[in-house]
Amino acid sequence: MTTFYHSTRSSEDSVTSKQAILAGIAPDGGLYVCDALGEKPLDLAGVCAQGFHDTARLVLGTLLGDYADDEVAACVEGAYGAQWDTPAVCPLTPLGTDWLLELYHGPTCAFKDVALQMLPRLMSVARGGDGRKIMIVTATSGDTGKAALDGFAGVEGTGVTVFYPHGKVSDIQRLQMVTQLGGNVAVCAVRGTFDDCQGEVKRIFADRALAERLAGRGVALSSANSINVGRLAPQVTYYFDAYAQLVRRSAVRLGDEVTFCVPTGNFGDVLAGYFAKRLGLPVRRLVVASNANDVLTDFLTTGTYDRRRDFHKTISPSMDILVSSNLERLLYYASDGDCELVSSLMRDLAEKGVYTVPPRVMDEIRSTFSCGRADDAQTRETIRQTWEELDVVIDPHTAVAKHVLDGVEPDGTERVCLSTASPYKFSADVLQALGEVTDGMNGFACMDALERLSGTAAPEQLSGLRAGEVVHDDVCDRERMGAFVEGACARVFL
Ligand SMILES: *Cc1c(COP(=O)(O)O)cnc(C)c1O
């Protein structure tokens, strides 16, 4: 069955899911959406009787209908294989009276791997044999970059260029990126914030002159950011699989509702939860957890999205975001597919930095979404408390969600806190939260100290960085990013 996608800003031109995945973003700047979402609910009893891989096949086969079953099966097998340090892929573990969904067992130790081990495979299939080369251009607030580099390195016919905000990612996150090997990868630090990087990447995608010059060389640009449906779709899997694990543990009965709390930045992870709900997963609430960059908390509370505010550098850097791109998709679905409304809101955002959503749409959104925030002090306190009271070490992003979830009035539903990164990715901040002094210690010394303190082992994917050599040391201003991409294309696709 073919699944058709069109822009959130216009329903005129439809593309297949393969085309949507190759393009990344719609030509008018909107995000690709599928009107069939939720017309056919998934078989929940079936999901509960099977493992992660079968559920991934079911979810992807449903959302990306023009991929053949054997294509999907091959992608799933390749994406969720031995590069994961547990066969469960995304295991669910107890967290006091709640549950922790561990999404960080992939090759780069962040939840982005769930999607970014899959996306390159989906793109390779979609490219077919036609030979058009694809340069992935991605802005990262810390974790996407390495996950994209790992996913695309060495993939035939593709290249990947990653921009990250200079000085605004953790020591280990930076090392993960600047040591990445592969003839088709490029990495550059940008003087600015993540929003500067992401804004400029969006502009690069809209640059017709650049696109024509590259097309002349047989190269097309595409995105690996969470605006790509090929990233969103794989994330739906773990909501269903988490539910199946709850049922198997007899924590819920088939059909019981569950609440998920999600540490949120670009709104991709929590939006996948909303897709799962539309596909029939019994979801009571989706709780959007923000750090001090609490633009989403204010939005969900007031109905006004206002990005005109100070940017805070926090200890949960992957959530340091003021423009949550995927919210545009929620606005589309919650307004019953009102492209005109979405267009005008996005115009307001671009021109004034602020928009206000009509009350009927906010009511629809609030019927599923709750929200809350945690500042750095609350995040640290939560890391400390979770270790002292529950013997579980969590990373700062997960701690933001845990803090927010702890503030939600219990209503009898089982609650799942999404854990999006290994604490070892942020060893220094975790140690400080646990009362340790880390002055003068580098990322590796902190990793060692955290191992000793917690009695757990750092993932090999991270401790192995010690032996890595820095091979990317470029730093540029925002204005130079386009030229950097062009240079990378020339180098990678000689
Ligand atoms: C990317 C990321 C998030 C935020 O996810 P979004 O899909 O952008 O909302 C949260 N935690 C970690 C560790 C991340 O890498």
Neighbours of 183 (CB within 10 A): 10
pLDDT class of 21 with cuts at 50, 70, 90: very high
Active-site residue set? 112
226 C-alpha to center of ligand 1: Å? 10
420 C-beta closer than 6 A to ligand 1: yes
316 C-alpha to center of ligand 1: Å? 9
- pLDDT surpassing 80 at residue 130: no
425 C-beta closer than 6 A to ligand 1: no
230 C-beta closer than 6 A to ligand 1: no
Mean pLDDT of 41-59: 98
Q: Which residue type does 302 have?
A: T
The residue assigned the tokens 């719609």 is 26
332 C-beta closer than 6 A to ligand 1: no
87 C-alpha to center of ligand 1: Å? 23
Mean pLDDT of 345-364: 98
- pLDDT surpassing 60 at residue 1: no
Mean pLDDT of 175-197: 94
Please give the structure tokens belonging to residue 65: 């209908």
Per residue in 243-266, pLDDT tens? Answer: 999 999 999 999 999 999 999 999
Mean pLDDT of 25-35: 93
Cβ pair 455, 447 in contact under 8 A:
no
Across 107-180, the runs of DSSP E, i.e. the strands, are: 133-139, 158-165
Report which ligand 1 atom has the smallest distance to the Cα of 272.
Answer: 7
pLDDT class of 142 with cuts at 50, 70, 90: confident
Across 268-388, the runs of DSSP E, i.e. the strands, are: 283-290, 304-306, 354-356, 369-373
Please give the structure tokens belonging to residue 190: 């940008």
Average model confidence (pLDDT) for the chain?
95
- pLDDT surpassing 60 at residue 491: yes
Q: What pLDDT does 2 receive?
A: 66
269 C-beta closer than 6 A to ligand 1: yes
Domain locations along the chain: 92-108+232-457
The residue assigned the tokens 């990013």 is 481
Mean pLDDT of 220-225: 86
Cβ pair 285, 246 in contact under 8 A:
no
Sheet with 4-7, strands from edge to edge, namely 10-16, 4-7, 32-33
pLDDT class of 132 with cuts at 50, 70, 90: confident
Across 34-174, the runs of DSSP E, i.e. the strands, are: 92-95, 98-102, 133-139, 158-165
Cβ pair 21, 1 in contact under 8 A:
no
398 C-alpha to center of ligand 1: Å? 10
Q: What pLDDT does 332 receive?
A: 98
53 C-beta closer than 6 A to ligand 1: no
223 C-alpha to center of ligand 1: Å? 17
Query: Atom 15, ligand 1: which residue's CA is nearest?
Result: 143
Q: What pLDDT does 154 receive?
A: 85
Range with lowest mean pLDDT among 49-53, 153-157, 230-234, 281-285: 153-157
Cβ pair 136, 179 in contact under 8 A:
no
Q: How far is CA 340 from CA 210, 332, 358, 441, in A?
A: 29, 10, 13, 53
265 C-beta closer than 6 A to ligand 1: yes
Report which ligand 1 atom has the smallest distance to the Cα of 141.
Answer: 1
DSSP designation for 110: B
Query: Atom 14, ligand 1: which residue's CA is nearest?
Result: 318
Per residue in 474-485, pLDDT tens? Answer: 999 999 999 999
Mean pLDDT of 139-159: 89
Per residue in 373-386, pLDDT tens? Answer: 999 999 999 999 99
Q: Choose which residue among 232, 262, 266 to substitute to test ligand 1 binding: the one with the highest number of ligand atoms within 8 A of its C-beta.
A: 266
Q: What pLDDT does 271 receive?
A: 98
SS3 313: coil
Query: Atom 1, ligand 1: which residue's CA is nearest?
Result: 318
Q: What pLDDT does 128 receive?
A: 82
Per residue in 415-425, pLDDT tens? Answer: 999 999 999 99
Burial 264-275 (b: 16+ CB within 10 A, else e): bbbbbbbbbbbb
Task: Quote the CA–CA distance of 155 and 173 in Å, as a whole number.
Answer: 22
318 C-beta closer than 6 A to ligand 1: yes
Bigger pLDDT: 57 vs 142: 57
266 C-beta closer than 6 A to ligand 1: yes
Q: Choose which residue among 231, 235, 264 to substitute to test ligand 1 binding: the one with the highest number of ligand atoms within 8 A of its C-beta.
A: 264
Please give the structure tokens belonging to residue 12: 């005129």
pLDDT class of 25 with cuts at 50, 70, 90: confident
267 C-beta closer than 6 A to ligand 1: yes
Q: Which residue type does 369 have?
A: F
Could you tell me which CATH number the domain at 92-108+232-457 has?
3.40.50.1100
pLDDT class of 168 with cuts at 50, 70, 90: confident
286 C-beta closer than 6 A to ligand 1: no
Question: Helix crossing, 52-63 with 229-248: angle to 10°?
Answer: 140
Per residue in 74-124, pLDDT tens? Answer: 999 999 999 999 999 999 999 999 999 999 999 999 999 999 999 999 998
Range with lowest mean pLDDT among 140-154, 172-186, 387-401, 412-426: 140-154
Mean pLDDT of 31-51: 95
Task: Quote the CA–CA distance of 379 and 398 in Å, as a whole number.
Answer: 9
Q: Choose which residue among 31, 318, 325, 425 to substitute to test ligand 1 binding: the one with the highest number of ligand atoms within 8 A of its C-beta.
A: 318
287 C-alpha to center of ligand 1: Å? 14
110 C-beta closer than 6 A to ligand 1: yes
419 C-alpha to center of ligand 1: Å? 10
Which uninterrupted H or E stretch holds 348?
A: helix 339-352
264 C-alpha to center of ligand 1: Å? 6
Q: What percent of the chain lies above the pLDDT cut of 70?
A: 99
Largest separation between any pair of C-alpha atoms in the chain = 61
Mean pLDDT of 59-84: 96
pTM metric for this prediction: 0.94
264 C-beta closer than 6 A to ligand 1: yes
317 C-alpha to center of ligand 1: Å? 9
Q: What pLDDT does 143 receive?
A: 80
